[in-house]
Amino acid sequence: MRTTTSLDAATLEKLISAAVAAPSQHNTQPWRYRLDPDTTTVEVRAAPERGLRHTDPVARGLHVSVGAALFNLRVAATHFGWHPVVRLLPRPAEPGLLATVRLAGPRTAGRLHRPDLYDAVWRRHSSRFPFTGPPVPARVLAEIAEAATAEGALLTFPGPTEVSRIMRLTAEAEHHSAADPARSAETRDWVREGAPDGLPGAALGPYDAMGRLPVRDFAGIHSASRPRSAAFERRPVIGVLATAHDTRADWLRAGQGLQHALLVATAHHVRTSLFSQAVEWPDLRWALRDPRTGRRHVQMLIRFGHGPDGPATPRRPARDVLDVDEAQDVRAGGRPRAVTGRGMAAPCSAQGSARRYRSERPAP
Ligand SMILES: Cc1cc2nc3c(=O)[nH]c(=O)nc-3n(C[C@H](O)[C@H](O)[C@H](O)COP(=O)(O)O)c2cc1C
């Protein structure tokens, strides 16, 4: 771990790459980043052109995805020795600016999260395969739930009867989506090979032969890119992630809670996959609320278990998602500038004209 607060081009690239490693709906990666060098603040913006117009018309899933990326950015900032100061929706006049993360530092004592989450950022992948290993211990599930709580969300683990009920609602959502040509086409469009976004066929996983776990049918039921069916776990462990309210800030909190929970699970070698189908239909989302406790707004269903790791899905490189003002171009003839405290420490010597951050170094 680093103890200085200087920010050079390579470290900035790692911060952004960590953010980009987050899960996003259909792996759309609906985000952009910009560094404000005067305040050493990373601005996190929505990329609405990457939104799912039919599946996610109010951009709730987009906000949850960006919230997950925001949590990864915080983990990476902490790893490199900063204290990340986050503001959600900081400028009402600029609704596309979803968050700012000021790199205040150096980091003082006090734990914001487990120290091993930076490593988990790179190891976490969705696993849509049957879980076959031993049950996840109750103490691990409790720690995972605490992680969501730390971000202002609530993660509960309902019993088998309630799990069956919410999985039936998920199956119903799958039927609704399959009968909606616009949604089906939009989803299929994000199944891609060799692209820097979307889902390759290898990530999709099989159908549950018993029909209890309705894994999302990304490619369409007759697609050849998906293995046919397999026996999934008899008693799936499903966490219900919810928030007290349902504003854009709550969606960003849900995303941070989701990612904190997923990374703690990964640190324990627990695999995860997500089910948001029922959350995408307002009537089914309403029905997802636990009838006994249900005043909260359900944001995601998360499956936990021991089993095969999911394959890595592609990501856009940091340079493609980081906007840099002309005066900030850090290529500088191959000499990255350092940012220390309130400004650029070393002046740029080259006359770069590209507006994008560029670096010669690959992402970690
Ligand atoms: C808001 C949101 C909704 C998602 N919904 C689903 C889903 O319904 N089914 C599914 O299999 N994965 C779902 N995912 C997981 C994404 O497909 C996955 O994160 C993305 O393809 C990148 O893959 P990775 O998680 O392996 O990095 C969702 C992710 C987010 C952030």
CA angle 65–12–78, rounded 5-degree value? 70
Examine the fold and report which residue of 283, 305, 327 is the final residue of a domain before the chain moves on. 305
The encoded tokens of residue 234 equal: 């008899």
Number of domain units in the chain: 2
- State whether 75 and 161 are in the same domain: no
Please state, in angstroms and rounded to a whole number, the distance separating the CA atoms of residues 318 and 10: 11
Is 4 a domain residue? no
User: What is the reported pTM?
Assistant: 0.90
Task: Give me ligand 1 centre to Cα 349, in Å.
Answer: 43
Q: What is the CATH number of the domain that holds 332?
A: 3.40.109.10
Q: Which of 274, 277, 281 to mutate to test the pocket of ligand 1 (most atoms within 8 A of CB)?
A: 274
Instruction: Determine the structural domain holding residue 206 and report its residue range.
Output: 122-305
- State whether 264 and 131 are in the same domain: yes
Neighbour count for residue 355 (Cβ, 10 Å) = 11
Is 360 a domain residue? no
Residue 11: its H or E element: helix 9-20
- 348 Cβ contact partners less than 8 Å away, ≥ 6 residues apart: 327, 329, 330, 332, 337
Q: Convert the pLDDT of each residue in 214-272 to its tens digit.
A: 999 998 765 666 668 899 999 999 999 999 999 999 999 999 999 999 999 999 999 99
- State whether 77 and 163 are in the same domain: no
- State whether 112 and 236 are in the same domain: no
Question: What atom in ligand 1 is closest to the CA of residue 204?
Answer: 11
Question: What atom in ligand 1 is closest to the CA of residue 22?
Answer: 27
Binding pocket residue ranges, ligand 1, CB within 6 Å: 23-27, 61, 64-65, 68, 125-126, 128, 199, 216, 273-277, 310, 313
- State whether 141 and 279 are in the same domain: yes
Sign of CA dihedral 51, 52, 57, 63: negative
Q: Convert the pLDDT of each residue in 102-121 to its tens digit.
A: 999 776 666 779 999 999 99
